Structure 1
Amino acid sequence: MDNMQKVSLFTVRGYGSSRRYQLATGVLGLLSAALLMAVIAMATQMNGVCESQSSLNITAVQSELKLLRDERVRLTESRTSLQHDYDKARADRSLLQAQVDREKAMSDRLLAQIKTLEEQKKQENVRVLQLVRSCERCPPGWEVVNDTCYYFPISSGIQRKGWDDARADCIRQGGDLAIVDTLQKQTFIVGVLKALHSEGFSYRYGFWIGLKRKDEEQGTWHWTNGSLLGTGYWMDGEPNDDYGYEDCTASYPTVNILKSWNDAPCRHPLKWICEKEATAAS
C-alpha cells in the first residue's frame, strides 16, 4: 500500500514538472528562434551595409583611377607639346647659328676684300705718283724710279716671249732687260708685279729680268751689262736648274719680296721688264 502511494505521488509530481519543463522548453525554443531570426536579420543587414560600403569604395577608387588616367593623358600631352616646342627651338637656334656663321664668313670676306682693295689703292697711288714723276723723263707707258725708267708690257694684246726675244724688244725701245742689283729696285719691281696680279702667285705671272747663266761658266750668273751677280733674291730651293737648261731668271709677285726669283728655260714664254736711263728733269 505504501509503495503504491509513493509511486502515485511521484507520478503526479513528475507530470506537473514535465508540463512546466515542456512550457519552458517551448518558450526557450521560441526565444531561440526569435534570436536566430534577429541574428539572420542583422547578418543580412550587415552584409548589405558591407556590400554597399564595398560598392562605394570601388566607385571611389574607379573615380580616382579615372582622374589619374586623365591627368596622365594631360601630362603626356603637355610633355609632347613641350618636347615639340623644345625641338623647334633647337632647330630655330641651329638655323640662326648657321645664318650667323654665314654672315660672319661673308663679313670676313668683305673685310678681306676691303683690305685688299685698300692695299691695291695704296699701290695704285704709288704708281700714279711714279707716273706723274715720270712725265717728260720717260716715254709714255714707262715708270720712273730715281733716274731709271721701267717698262712692264702688261697689255693682254702683247704676247709672252722667251728671254732672248724679250731682251730684243727692250733693246728696240732703247733699253735692256732690267738689272735688279739693289733692294730698292727689287722692292719696286715686286710691288708692281703684286699690284698687277693681286689674285696671288702663279708661275704664269713671271717677268724676265736681265740675269742669265753663261754657257761657258755653268753656275755663275751675269747681268746684261756683264757684271756678276752679287745679292740674289731667289725663291727657296732656287736656282735648281730643274730641266738641265734653266739658264734665265724671272721675277714673280711673291709675298716675300726678298724671295721672288726663279730660274727657268730661256725659251719659256713670259712677260718681261725693260729699263733705261731717264732723261734729266726739267
Structure 2
Amino acid sequence: MEDRENSGRSYNKLIYQEESAADEQPIYSNQEKQQVSLTAVGPASSFNHYKLLTLSLAVLAAFLLAVDIGLGVYYYHLTDGSLVRDLAGEVAKLQASYNAAIHRREDAKEQLAREIGKQAVTRWELEHQTRRKEDYERVIEKTQIEIATLKSHIPMIKEGCRHCSPGWTFMNSLCYFFPFADTYSSVNWQQARDHCKRQGGDLAIVDSREKHLAITNLIHNYKDPKTWMYQSGFWIGLRDVEEEGRWKWLDGTRLNEGYWNDGEPNNEDNEDCAAVYPRSNPFKAWNDAPCNFNLKWICEKQPWAIG
C-alpha cells in the first residue's frame, strides 16, 4: 500500500517536475524556434542570391558568345576576301588618284615655268622698247629744240649774211662763231685763240649782261645731253695769268662783273682761264679751268661795214 502511495507520490512529483519544466521551457523554445527559423531562412536567401548571380553569369556568357560569334562571322567575311578586295580596290583607286594629282601638279609646274619664261622675255622686250621710245623722245625733243633755235636765229642769220662771214652769227652788233658741229674738236685755250685770230677775230669778251645772256641762251639750246657738264664749256677771252685772282679780258680791261658758279673761281689745279657753260641758271655759268684743258670756244669779231 505504502509502495503504491510512494509510487504515486513519485509519479506526481515527476509530473510536477515535467510540468514545471514545461512551464519554464517556452523561453528556450521560442529562442530555439527563432534559431530554427533563422537557420531555415538564411540558407534560402543565400540560395536566391547565388541563383541570381548564376543567371547573370549565364546572360553574360550568352552575350560574350554572341559577340564571339559576330567576330567570328566578321573574321570569316574578312578572311573570305571580299572585304579585303574591296579595301584593296579603294586603296588602288586612292593611289591612282594620288598619282594623277602628282602628275597634274608636275604638268602645272612645267607650264608655270614656261609662262614665267615667256613673261620674262616679254618684260625684257618691254624694257627694250621703252628705252627705244625714250631715245626717240630725246631725239625728237632735241630736234624740236634745234628747229626752234634755228627759227629764232633766222633773223640773226639774215643779218649775219649782211654783216658776218659764213658760219658766223650776228648778235649785239658783233659777229660770233660757235663750233657746235661735231667736226670741230675741243682744244686748249691758246689753240682756241689761235683759231679765232686766223678768222680775223679773237676769243669773245663778254663784258655786258646782254652779251652774256645772248651767248648762254644760244649754247644752252645747243647743249648735248650726252656730254658731261665739265666737258661742255666754251673758252672766252678771260684769264688771270698775270696775277692770281686778278681777271682781265684780252683787251686789257679788268673784270667788273662775273657770272661764276657757286664756289668759283677756286684755282684748283692752277686754273687760270675762264669758260662759260650751258647751265640752266645763266648767272652761274662761268668756271675757271686749267688753260691746257680741251673745250670748245667762242670767237667774236667786228661786223663788215655796210656802205
TM-score range, shorter chain: 0.5 to 0.7
Which of residues 101, 106, 119 is equivalent to 1:75?
A: 101
The question of whether the paired residues in 1 share the 8 Å contact of 2:205 and 2:238 is answered with yes
Distance of 1:179 and 1:143 partners within structure 2: 15
Match in the other structure for 1:186: 212
Give SS of 1:73's match: helix
Distance of 1:50 and 1:269 partners within structure 2: 105
Matched, 1:213 2:213: no
Number of residue pairs the alignment of both structures matches: 234
Query: Which deviates further from its counterpart, 79-88 or 137-146?
Result: 79-88
Which of residues 139, 142, 145 is equivalent to 1:113?
A: 139
Report the CA distance between 1:143 and its aligned residue: 0.8
Q: 1:103 to 1:71 in 2, by over 3 A?
A: same
What RMSD in Å do the two structures reach over aligned CA positions?
3.5
Letter in 2 for 1:212: R
The question of whether the paired residues in 1 share the 8 Å contact of 2:188 and 2:291 is answered with no
The question of whether the paired residues in 2 share the 8 Å contact of 1:247 and 1:263 is answered with yes
Q: 1:241 to 1:144 in 2, by over 3 A?
A: same
Which of residues 93, 107, 126 is equivalent to 2:119?
A: 93
Give SS of 1:135's match: helix
Q: Extract unaligned runs of 5+ from structure 1.
A: 1-46
Instruction: State the TM-score, normalizing by the size of structure 1.
Output: 0.66
**CA deviation profile, 1:31-51 (whole Å, cap 9, x unmatched):** xxxxxxxxxxxxxxxx89974
Match in the other structure for 2:300: 275
Letter in 1 for 2:141: K
Letter in 1 for 2:283: L
Distance of 2:304 and 2:131 partners within structure 1: 51
Which of residues 147, 169, 181 is equivalent to 1:143?
A: 169
Matched, 1:241 2:267: yes
Distance of 1:171 and 1:127 partners within structure 2: 25
**CA deviation profile, 1:92-140 (whole Å, cap 9, x unmatched):** 2233223222222322222222222222332233344421221211222
Distance of 1:236 and 1:79 partners within structure 2: 66
**CA deviation profile, 1:129-173 (whole Å, cap 9, x unmatched):** 42122121122222101311112356747884544x654664565
Distance of 2:222 and 2:123 partners within structure 1: 39
Give SS of 1:141's match: coil
Give SS of 1:258's match: helix
Match in the other structure for 2:287: 262
The question of whether the paired residues in 1 share the 8 Å contact of 2:205 and 2:250 is answered with yes
More helix by share: 2
Distance of 1:60 and 1:197 partners within structure 2: 87
Distance of 1:95 and 1:173 partners within structure 2: 57
The question of whether the paired residues in 1 share the 8 Å contact of 2:178 and 2:298 is answered with yes
The question of whether the paired residues in 1 share the 8 Å contact of 2:189 and 2:273 is answered with no
Which of the pair has more CA radius of gyration?
2
Q: 1:90 to 1:207 in 2, by over 3 A?
A: closer
Which of residues 73, 86, 92 is equivalent to 1:60?
A: 86
Question: Alignment identity in percent?
Answer: 31
Distance of 1:253 and 1:154 partners within structure 2: 12
Q: 1:227 to 1:99 in 2, by over 3 A?
A: same
Q: 1:91 to 1:192 in 2, by over 3 A?
A: same
Letter in 2 for 1:71: S
Letter in 2 for 1:257: P
Letter in 2 for 1:249: A
Distance of 2:117 and 2:126 partners within structure 1: 14
Report the CA distance between 1:211 and its aligned residue: 1.8
Give SS of 2:282's match: coil
Distance of 1:187 and 1:167 partners within structure 2: 22
Letter in 2 for 1:235: N
Q: 1:280 to 1:68 in 2, by over 3 A?
A: same
Q: 1:69 to 1:181 in 2, by over 3 A?
A: same
The question of whether the paired residues in 2 share the 8 Å contact of 1:200 and 1:253 is answered with no
Letter in 1 for 2:288: D
Q: 1:67 to 1:208 in 2, by over 3 A?
A: closer
Give SS of 2:205's match: coil
Which of residues 258, 275, 278 is equivalent to 1:250?
A: 275
Distance of 2:168 and 2:227 partners within structure 1: 24
